[in-house]
Structure 1
Amino acid sequence: MDLFNSLLVIFLLLYSIAPSVSSVFVTKHLELSKTGRYEISANTSMELIVDVTDDSSISFIVLQAHSQKYPFVASLNESVDYYDNAMKSTNPGLVVDGPVLKYGTVELFLMSELIATQVVEAMAIAYPSYSPIPGGCCLTCDVAIDPSLNVSFNPWYTKIRFQLGNSGYDAMDGDPTLCEGGGGFTYLTYQLYLYRFGEMSYDEDLALDAWQKMATVDAVKSYGTEVGSSLSFSDVKLVTVSSQPGQGVVYNVLVHDPKHDLYAAYVPYITYGCSFTAKVDGCDAAGSVLTKVVLSIAGVAGLIFCFAGHRLFPLVVCVAGFLYFVFLSFILLSDFVNWSHDVRVGVSAVLGVVGSLLFFFVFFRFYLVLAFVLLHGIILGFVFSSILFFSPFGDLSFWQNLLDYWIAFVCGMLFPAVVLLMWPRTLNIVATAVVGSYAFIVGVNSYIQGVLSYIVLDIIKKAVMPTYVSAYTDYPFEMPDIILASVWGVLAISGIIFQMWRERKDKRPALPPWLYRKWKESRLQYRELSSRSRESPGERRRLLETAGTASVSSYGSLSDNK
């Protein structure tokens, strides 16, 4: 028993000292305005020493570090205190100012909770006197100055929040403006920028190189794209941007002091609009095989409708019913039922099949052909209006009002149907050619991850989430998108010309026949033929049988005819 107790004590002692033995403390040097790349893990603590030059004009230094996927801890002290000088994030940032700079060195400690090695890049950027301090007026933050961006995202949109900055001061003998009194910092302005990279590519080196193009003021102005208009002190420090899951984006904010005409950059943030750690709807699900298969089938069907849609009018009616019921049911379920996205999509698809059968039954039984042509024209108008608001026209501030936006959108949606309703065959041909060719382009787009699919997706997002109307939706229109848009135009025009030529060549009526009437007439003809065959038994006599003949030997009989 004594031996057991002794072994237990030895084990506990070894266990208590094991972390300190296995922990490794590494010291590195980081030069101002230069990037350093380091490897950290759970048993490694990294100390970065920044040598501050003897330059009395330096007002403050922004310390920042970045990783592609997993968060880590950045701290100004070796002992981590999240409520004073530490932050845990994939893109943490801290500010050092005032008397600390007089010591000649600044320390930044990096720590990871991952067992595996994690690659981190860090940079220290110095700003001169009177430069505005990013995040310098955050009274509710865990740290005194918070230059980091708070980014949250889902497959629909990305929200970027940032804290108010503070006006700069003389590095020699000045002091920052007090935030509580609403002083000079209220005249600062802010501008959000973004930089896109690596579409559906999760290469770590590409991501870590991308943030460097958004780290300094000059780099942001050179590589970044402005998002919306500049924000003032009174504006809410929240910007909503449309998400593209799988698309790498770096966000950053520049704060401007108009009195001294000086800028300062917040800490850039890397995101893909999806999570690397989520088990459901993560980055691995972006561009999944199932999505590509479904869109490929839709693309093939769209290509058939593009060149033969008017001939396949009953089938087009079924597809129209499916689209109407899926769209409306998904919006209603999103508004009134708190179900997951996958459940809503599944239920909407089932209701879409029901709508398809219902549309076909109404067309078959009641032959409301002009009404269905009008419904097809409204789908054409939906695509037309979606294109209009996908263009820079849709980014006008006037459309951020929900009522104005939907009134204008509905008017654009009804425009093609109203103009072409006098020529129902032409309207139906144009609708099937344009919408069918767009379905084909969306199928191809799923393999190259372009932006043309967002023409319709953005409208669905705005219908489901009213606040999305104010979101920034300026997508990059690159060469693959230009090629696909050109192919779409060529296919639509070719489909219209081919269908018009074919209908005139075959001299078919402008509208398809009433299927119920044809079915009823065929049934009547069948009954008439059946009744005639029952009423005329003579027609079923043998052809060689004559009146007065007692018996006639059948062909091939062995009996003698005497």
Structure 2
Amino acid sequence: MIKLNLLHVLLLLIVARNISSQNISVILPLNKTMSWGNKQLYGDFADLNASSTLQVGFTNINKNVSYIIFQVHSHLYNVTLYNNTYIKGSYVVGTNVGMYSSVKPKIDTFFIYNPNMINLKLYLSVHGYYVKDPIPGGCNMEFPLPTSPYLQTSYNKDYVLVDAAAARDPSDAFCNNIDKALVFFYQMYLPERNFDADTYFDGIKNMMTMDGIENFGEYLPENGDRMRRMMSAYPGTGAVYVAVAISTQNTSAYSVYVPTYSYACSPLVESGCELLDDFLSQLLCASLLFLGLFICFFGHRFFKTEMFLVGLVSGVIITYIFISLTADLERPALLGASVLSGVCFGAIWLLFWWFYGIPLIAVLLSTLNVGFLFSAIIYYGLPGGLVALQLDLNFWILFVLVMLTTSLMLVSMTFLSNILCCSILGAYATIYPIDYYLGSNLKYIIINTIRRAVVPQFNKAILSPPFEWRDALIILLWVALATSGFLFQHFHNRGRPPFPPPPRNVRPLPSHLYYGTTAPRTPRYGATAPVSPPGIQTDRTPLLA
């Protein structure tokens, strides 16, 4: 009886496997009328079971079509696309794949294989082009297929790379001059922290045609590599990338590559899209909320604490950049060493005030930090493709110049500038963890600048940060906190000395020159000069007393 039940179970598993791995065949009509901005002949969804193959044929082909680009788009999971035979050089694997086929003498039959153990929802699209349109990927030298009309994306924690194969103009059958077909890149951001399949498919469909690219796409300028674009990575914010080949012989002739996408992370992996994936980073990020509020509203009132914290932050940034350039450490070790160095730097800066108490120099570090933040904001908002700023010497000279100019403009009004610096820096420190938890991207104002300093070849990266409702909300919160912090501190310190006296001043200068106390009046002619307390030397003390 037990053997009979086991036999039944085995038969059921075999039947289920055969049903799930069945081969399906479909015929797609390609008789749709094409317009200049929309050359899509077919586009629709298809379901493909696990370990199954979908065979796609075509009928009723538009008589004006010379060749087609067949596209397959899957969300997160790879599929295999091949034509006629499954051999090397005739298939491609990925989430956004496509193949070229000439209409004459006979259009190819394509096969889509799902190697995954789950059923997939696919979007199939066919684009038809005229005889004078350039062939995307027709002058391929590196990709697997002889003609590779798709894009390849790769990423790490700092940047995303998008590569395309050169296009071939119909007048250049042997690719003797690839400049006859120019390739332009575009991108469109998906909603932040949205990994939904429907959102992904909507983004892909919006960037498939020239009409959609003109409406939704953002041009990516060339940054040194003709067929590659490097973009700063914003993990968790998806972006759709596409390239367009335009003939220089006939500017009305063009073709669109297969669009692709990247989240700059892997949503399939647990914590794969978390920017801070270790305990120390999360602890430091959360602590910024409380330290930022303290500096924003009480920084100038507790001046010595402000001196230590400003020195600590400066030391952390400097040490982080220095260690990243000289050693290869994991992020927890790198952050730990930077924080320890920052504590030492903060203590040194506090001791400088403790013994010398020069307000102008003490405030200078705060204004330099605001200048650094202002330069980082300018870099964050710069458009890509500025060749002059790709040179590190030019970039850092301009960066430091803006930082010093901002600092010198602020330090001229010492008391007010210190309150202003506390408000701006404290407000940014407050919104930093909120920005992280909300999923917006203003934290990359500082991160992109540090990347420029420590990541090789990041000078070629296009920043082009996304700006959505989350970013607008964080900016409004930043402005509100900085404004309220400045007004609160200015009102709270009204009537007080501008700066507190240092605990141990080794410079015996009159306190009213620095701390706002009332200076004694000069005695009139003939009046008796005030007697100095014993042990205090003044300008009336005899030299040989």
TM-score after normalising by structure 1: 0.79
Distance in 2, Cα, partners of 1:460 & 1:436: 20
Report the equivalent of 2:26. Answer: 28
Where structure 2 has 5 or more consecutive residues not aligned to the other structure, the ranges are 1-12, 31-40, 507-545
CA offset digits 1:221-278 (Å, max 9, x no partner)? 222111125x9xx953111111110011100001111322211111111211112355
Conserved 8 A contact 1:93-1:148: yes
How does 1:176-215 map onto structure 2 within 5 Å?
A: 177-179=173-175, 182-183=176-177, 185-215=178-208
Letter in 1 for 2:173: T
Report the AA paired with residue 409 of structure 1.
Answer: F
Secondary structure of 1:115's counterpart equals coil
Q: Is the 1:30–1:123 contact (alpha carbons within 8 Å) kept by the matching residues of 2? A: no
CA contact (8 A) 1:322 1:352 kept: yes
- 1:52 offset after TM fit, Å? 4.9
Whether contact under 8 Å (1:65, 1:120) holds in the other structure is yes
For 1:16 and 1:227, how far apart are their aligned partners in 2? Answer: 51
Runs of 4+ more than 6 Å apart: 15-22, 287-293
Residue 166, structure 1, aligned to residue 168, structure 2:
yes
Match of 1:264 in 2: 255
Task: After TM superposition, give the deviation of residue 459 of structure 1 in Å.
Answer: 0.8
CA distance, structure 2, for counterparts of residue 372 and residue 405 of structure 1: 28
Aligned counterpart, 1:423 = 413
CA 1:356–1:30 in 2, change beyond 3 Å: closer, same or farther? farther
Aligned length: 482
Q: Secondary structure at the match of 1:58?
A: coil
Identity %: 25
Aligned partner of 1:413: which letter? M
Which stretch shifts more, 86-95 or 458-467?
Answer: 458-467
Q: Deviations over 1:372-425 (max 9, x none)?
A: 321111101111112222234786443222111110110111123212333322
Match of residue 52, structure 2, among 22, 44, 49: 44
Whole-Å separation in 1 of the counterparts to 2:374 and 2:154: 32
Q: For 1:494, what is the secondary structure of its paired residue?
A: helix
Partner amino acid for 1:86?
Y
1:51/1:106 contact within 8 Å kept: no
Map of 2:127 onto structure 1:
125
CA pair 116-384 structure 1, distance change in 2 beyond 3 A: same
CA deviations 1:351-380 (Å, max 9, x no partner) are 333433443344435546543321111101
State yes or no: 1:493 paired with 2:483. Answer: yes
Please give the alpha-carbon distance, in whole angstroms, between the structure 2 residues aligned to 1:235 and 1:52.
Answer: 41
Q: Residue 6 of structure 1 aligns with which residue?
A: none
Report the equivalent of 2:326: 336
Letter in 1 for 2:227: K
**Structure 1 411/121 Cα, relative in aligned 2: closer, same or farther at 3 Å?**
same
Indicate how the Cα distance of structure 1 residues 159 and 494 shifts in structure 2: closer, same or farther if over 3 A, else same: same
**2:265 pairs with 1:274:** yes
**CA deviations over 1:287-325 (Å, ceiling 9, x no partner):** 779667644431232122112211122222222222122
**1:418-450 superposed Cα distances (whole Å, 9 cap, x missing partner):** 123333222211111111112222233223322
Does 2:68 correspond to 1:61?
yes
Report the residue type matching 1:422 in the other structure: S
Q: Quick one: distance in 1 between partners of 2:149 and 2:200?
A: 20
Q: Match of 1:460?
A: 450
1:247 aligns with 2:237: yes
Whether the 8 Å contact between 1:137 and 1:165 is mirrored in structure 2 is yes
> 3-state SS of the aligned residue for 1:236?
coil
Residue 80 (1) aligns with residue 71 (2): no
- Aligned partners of 2:60 and 2:342: how far apart in 1? 66
Q: CA RMSD in A?
A: 2.9
Q: Taking structure 1 as reference, are residues 106 and 371 closer, same or farther at Cα in structure 2, changes over 3 Å only?
A: same
Residue from 407, 413, 422 that aligns with 2:403? 413
- After superposition, the C-alpha distances for 1:32-71 in whole angstroms (9 at most, x for unaligned) are 432232333443111122225151x312111111111121
C-alpha contact 1:402 1:466 (8 A) present in aligned 2: no
For 1:287 and 1:204, locate their aligned partners in 2 and report how far apart those are by CA, in whole Å.
Answer: 25
2:87 is the counterpart of 1:96 = no
Structure 1 or 2: more helix by fraction: 1
Structure whose alpha-carbon radius of gyration is higher: 1
Q: Give the 3-state SS of the residue equivalent to 2:96 in structure 1.
A: coil
The answer to whether the 8 Å contact 2:384/2:462 transfers is no
Bigger mean CA offset, 357-366 vs 248-257: 357-366
